[in-house]
Amino acid sequence: MLEAVFKLKEQGTSVRTEMIAGITTFLTMAYIIFVNPEILSSTGMDRNAVFVATCLAAATGSLIMGLFANWPIGMAPGMGLNAFFAFGVVGAMGFTWQQALGAVFISGSVFLVLTVTGVRRWLVAGIPHSMRSAIAAGIGMFLGIIALKSSGIIVGNQATLVTLGKLNQPGTLLAILGFFVIAALDTLKVRGAILIGILLITVLSMIVGVSTFGGIVSPPPSILPTFLQLDIPGALHGGWLNVILVFVLVEVFDATGTLIGVAKRAGLIADDKPNNLGKALLADSSAIVAGSLLGTSSTTAYVESVSGVQSGGRTGLTAVVVGVLFLASLFFSPLAGAVPVYATAPALLYVACLMMRELLEIDWQDITEAAPSALTALMMPFTYSIANGLAFGFISYAVMKALTGRPRELHLATGLVAVLFVIRFAFFV
C-alpha cells in the first residue's frame, strides 16, 4: 500500500529510511509546539487551545503535503508570521485576536486563489533576489529584538530607546545559556538541537524556581477557545489592506522559497521541470486556511525539512510521519505549559541568527539593490513591524530604479506591490 501511494522504489527510498527522515524532521521543528503558544498567548488567546491548534495545524498541513503532493516537507505555523500576528496586528494595530485570525483566513483564501491561477509563481518570479533575501533577514532581526526583549537582555530606555538589561537575573542567565547550548548542539550536527535546548532550559527553570512542573503527559486540552473563533467581518476594518498584503507577501516568498529550496535538495526538481510543485503549492496554501479555522497564525513549509531530506527522505511518507508525530504531541500539553519564555527566547534568537545569513545574498555593490534591501531589513525591528519593512523596501526599490534610469529592471510585480504600499500609506495609516 505504501509503495502504491508514495512510489518509494521510484524515488530510491524505503519505508525505514522515510520513517527515520520523518522523525528527524519532526525533532528539528517540534520547538514550534512550545514557541507558538508562548507568542500567540500574549494576545489573550488561551495558551492550551493554541497548543492544540498548533499541533493540529502542523499535522493537517504535513499530512496534506505528504498525501496530496507526495513531498517530504513538514508544515507548521510559521516563525515570523506568528510574531507579526501577535506583536504587529494585535499589539500595534489594535486588532483583536479573533479579527487577526479572520485576516489569516482571508490571506489564506487569497493565497489559494493566487496559487490556483498561477499568479503566485508570477509574483515570486518578479520579486528581485536581493529583496527576497532582505525580507528573510529583516524578519530574522524582528525575531531577534523580540527574543532579546522577552528574555530581559535588552529593556526600554527613555533616553536611548533601548539599553542593556540586568544580565544577572536568573531568567536572563538561563536564556543566555540556552542560546549557547542550541548554537553549540546545532554546530555539532545534533538532531533536534533547538528542541533539546528548550527542554534543558525548561528543566533548569524548574530547578531554580523560574517555572513550575505540571507533569508531562495528559489528555489533550480543549481547542474550543480558539476553534472557529475567527472574525472575518471584523478583520476588514482600518488597516486591513496592510495586514492582508503583508500576510500574503510573506506567505508567498517564505513558503514558495522553502518549498523550492527543499525540493531541489531532495532532487524533486530537475532540469527546471517541477515534480508535483503545483500540488505542493496548493497543499501549503490550503493549510493556511485550515490553521485559521483551528485558531493559529499562518501555516507554512518548514526549512527544517532539509534535515529529513539529508537523512534520505524523498517522498510524502516523510511528511506523513511528521504529521502523525505532531498528533502524538497533543498528549504533552502539561510540558508545553511549563516552558517559560526564557526557554523559548533562545530558540527565537538562534532562528534569527540563521535567517540573517540571507544578507550575504544581497548585491551590496549595486546601491539600487543594496539600499532598498537594507531599508527592508532595518525597518522591521526598528518600527516593530514586518509591514513597514516591506513597504519601505518595495517603494524605495521602485523609486531608485526609476530615478537612476533603470526602470526596465523593475518587474511589473514589484511595481504593483510598491503601488499597493503607497496606497496603504496614503489612505490606511
Question: For 183-212, how does the pLDDT look when each residue is reduced to its tens digit (9 = 90+)?
Answer: 999 899 887 787 788 889 988 998 988 887
Question: Would you report the helix, strand and coil content of the chain in percent, each value rounded to 5?
Answer: 70, 5, 25
What pLDDT, on a 0 to 100 scale, did the predictor assign at position 183? 92
**CA 66/CA 72 separation, integer angstroms:** 6
Distance CA 370, CA 360 (A): 11
- Please state which of the ranges 79-93, 259-273, 312-326 shows the lowest mean pLDDT: 259-273
pLDDT at 178 over 90: yes
Q: Is 412 exposed, middle or buried (0-12, 13-18, 19+ CB in 10 A)?
A: exposed
Q: What pLDDT shows up at residue 272?
A: 47
Angstrom distance (rounded) from CA 161 to CA 149: 12
> What is the residue-averaged pLDDT of the chain?
83
pLDDT digits (tens, 9 = 90+) for 206-234: 898 888 777 778 888 889 999 988 888 88
Query: Do 338 and 221 meet the contact criterion of CB atoms below 8 Å apart?
Result: no
At residue 399, the pLDDT reads 93
Query: How is 328-347 classified by DSSP, letter by letter?
Result: HGGGGHHHHHH--HHHHHHH
Give the mean pLDDT of 90-103: 87
Alpha-carbon distance of 379 to 235, in angstroms, equals 25
Residue 213: DSSP 8-state: -
Q: Which residues contact 134 (CB under 8 A, 6 or more apart)?
A: 358, 359, 362, 372, 373, 374, 376, 377, 393
Q: Which residues pair with 164 in a beta bridge?
A: 154
Handedness of CA 211, 32, 304, 176 (dihedral sign): negative
- In terms of DSSP H, where are the helices of 188-315? 193-208, 232-235, 240-265, 277-294, 305-310
pTM metric for this prediction: 0.72
Q: How many residues does the chain have?
A: 429
Consecutive H or E run containing 74: none
- Residue 270 pairs in a beta bridge with 273
Pairwise CA distance, residues 314 & 136, whole Å: 26
Q: How far apart are CA 81 and CA 86, in angstroms?
A: 9
Decide: 103 and 247 in contact? Cβ < 8 Å. Answer: yes
Give per-residue pLDDT as tens, 146-168.
Answer: 889 888 999 888 888 889 999 99
- 206 burial type by CB count under 10 A (0-12 exposed, 13-18 middle, 19+ buried): middle
pLDDT digits (tens, 9 = 90+) for 49-83: 999 999 999 999 999 988 888 888 889 988 778 88
Q: What is the pLDDT of residues 268-314, one digit of tens each?
A: 665 444 467 677 778 878 888 888 899 898 888 887 777 677 667 88
